[in-house]
Structure 1
Amino acid sequence: MSVTLENNKRTAIAVKLADMKATQNLLIANEKSLISACPDREITNRLEGFLRDDQKNLDIIDTVIVQYGIKAEPNPSMQKEFEDLGKMMQDSDLTLFEKVAKHEILKHTQAMAGVLVHKAGQVVGADIAVAIAPLNTVNFENRGHEEQLKGIMESLSTMELTGKPSDSGLWSRVQDTIAALSGIAGSLISRTDHEINICDLIHLDHVKVYSLFSQIKATDDPQKLEEYFGQVYQDLSAHSDAEEQVIYPVVRPYFNDVQKLYNEQAEMKQTLEQIKAMNSDDTVAFKAAVEILAMAVNDHVLEEENEMFPRIRSSFGDDQQKQLATDFKTAKSKIQDQRLAAVSE
């Protein structure tokens, strides 16, 4: 059977995630331009806050794309729009208000794209919902930025039209709106001001593959079985190779059972290849083979999370754990790109 995912819905989500990454880069470029052009310290402070959030959120979007496991290019039509908007932000004939208004539209576009991806993930598959969960933070912060941008536009328009600042209660009203948003979304979002550490990142992979196994267990549709197993194959292959490149060599001095983890993953890779060679039309045999794989993965996961994770937390500082997460994500992304290139040849 093929393990190249051709599911149109999953591919469409991958394109939308690529669009979000491109949009995020433009938001960051715009904010740098606006900061340099704005003379008002209150507004500049808020724009600098946006920039910090958006640089962090670019990393979150990158993480989501790697966790999602399907790479795509942005929609070509967006590239032309972005080029035009970039030129507008440098146009000396536009007022600062007009530039901020353009930026607010782009921020709204990003916020709506995040919501769309979130909703689509819930519909298409539980594993997608797990992979894109970190977007909740990005989506919430974009909504908060929108409210502040409305306040910035009110302040700028008042100054440009009257030469006087807006009323003193403007920013209090903005903060009240953001607080209300936080109250409404509180139970639905996961907010963090910190970079994800390596144990959390590996755990996300584990949760995702568990959700895929659950979806396989719940269906007898051969096409769905092939779709879900195709994602299991890709995810486990990239995950295990990245661990063997980045994590296990670093952890070995602190954890005596690392070789056992290598051995378990070698066996899992063999099982993956065996299932890949099977016909998903024979649903009983196919699901039975996947169940054996799932049990092996579960044993491996428990050993990593109950034995290896505590060694990582006790042996490495916070910055080292964050760097390991970055290195793991980078390695995993390169592995995904290499496999995509090999399939395309």
Structure 2
Amino acid sequence: MKKTTAKAKTSPVENEAPDAIKFLEAQHREVEDLFKKMEDLSDRAHRSRGVIFEEIAHKLSHHAKIEELIFYPEGKEVDKDLTLEAYEEHDVVKQMIAKIKRTETSDETYMAKVTVLKEVVEHHVKEEEEEYFPKTRKEFGDEHLKELGAKLKAKFDKLEAKQA
């Protein structure tokens, strides 16, 4: 009798990126899931909140870095205004992360700060996915997006390896 093995499901973030936009969108979904996990915790789960927030901060940091180093410089040729706005939104996110890291998880303002961060990230993601990515997909084409996806994944993996 032949034994069959089921293939493990992997996300584009874990596996080879199909293209740059799909790779970045998969990272957006991961961060959304982490924010949801954090919201679902009880008000007294301070330690768990801190652990999840550190993961959110880590993912957002690496995501922003690869976008800023690889995707945005080329995207600027497609839509300069949206690209410059995206850089500014990243700066706001970085400032908010730093502020949250300085706040105790038991502080009554902690979750309010996290909620505002989530809203800023949601706005940024919506703008990227509804405006910026469609424009860049049309301009770059499939082949170039695959090349960019490989670069994004390689840089992301390098950042992850440094973090480990």
Superposition TM-score, scaled by structure 1 size: 0.43
Alpha carbons 2:79, 2:132 under 8 Å: kept = yes
- CA deviation digits over 1:81-122, x for unaligned, max 9? xxxxxxxxxxxxxxxxxxxxxxx88x84xx47x3xxx7xxxx
CA contact (8 A) 1:216 1:287 kept: no
Quick check: 1:277 aligned with 2:102? yes
Residue 207 of structure 1, aligned match among 15, 26, 29: 29
C-alpha distance in structure 2 between counterparts of 1:204 and 1:266, whole Å: 21
The residue aligned with 1:230 is 54
Letter in structure 2 aligned against 1:251? G
Alpha-carbon distance, 1:338 to partner: 2.6
Name 1:56's counterpart in structure 2. none
The equivalent residue for 2:69 is: 245
Between the aligned residues of both structures, percent identity stands at 26
Distance 1:195-1:292 versus aligned 2 partners, 3 A rule = closer
Instruction: Within 5 Å, give how 1:194-343 maps onto structure 2.
Output: 196-219=18-41, 220=43, 221-256=45-80, 257-282=82-107, 284-340=108-164
Query: Does structure 2 conserve the Cα–Cα contact (< 8 Å) formed by 1:242 and 1:335?
Result: no
Q: Decide whether the 8 Å contact of 1:225 with 1:280 is kept in 2.
A: yes
Give the counterpart letter for 2:63 in structure 1.
H
**One-letter amino acid of the structure 2 residue matched with residue 272 of structure 1:** I
Unaligned regions of 5+ residues in structure 2, if any? Answer: none
Aligned mates of 2:17, 2:114 — CA distance in 1: 34
CA distance in 2 between partners of 1:313 and 1:271 (Å): 30
What CA deviation, in whole Å up to 9, does each residue of 1:229-263 have, x standing for no partner? 01101000000001000000011111122111111
Give 1:254's aligned amino acid: V
Residue in 2 aligned with 1:32?
A: none
CA distance in 2: counterparts of 1:216 and 1:319, whole angstroms: 37
Normalised TM-score (structure 2): 0.87
Task: Quote the residue 1:89 is aligned against.
Answer: none
Q: Is the 8 A contact 1:245 1:331 kept in 2?
A: no
Instruction: Return the structure number with greater relative CO, CA threshold 8 A, min gap 6.
Output: 2
Distance 1:195 1:337 in 2: 17
Structural RMSD (CA): 2.4
Q: Give yes or no for contact 1:197–1:321 (8 Å, CA) kept in 2.
A: yes
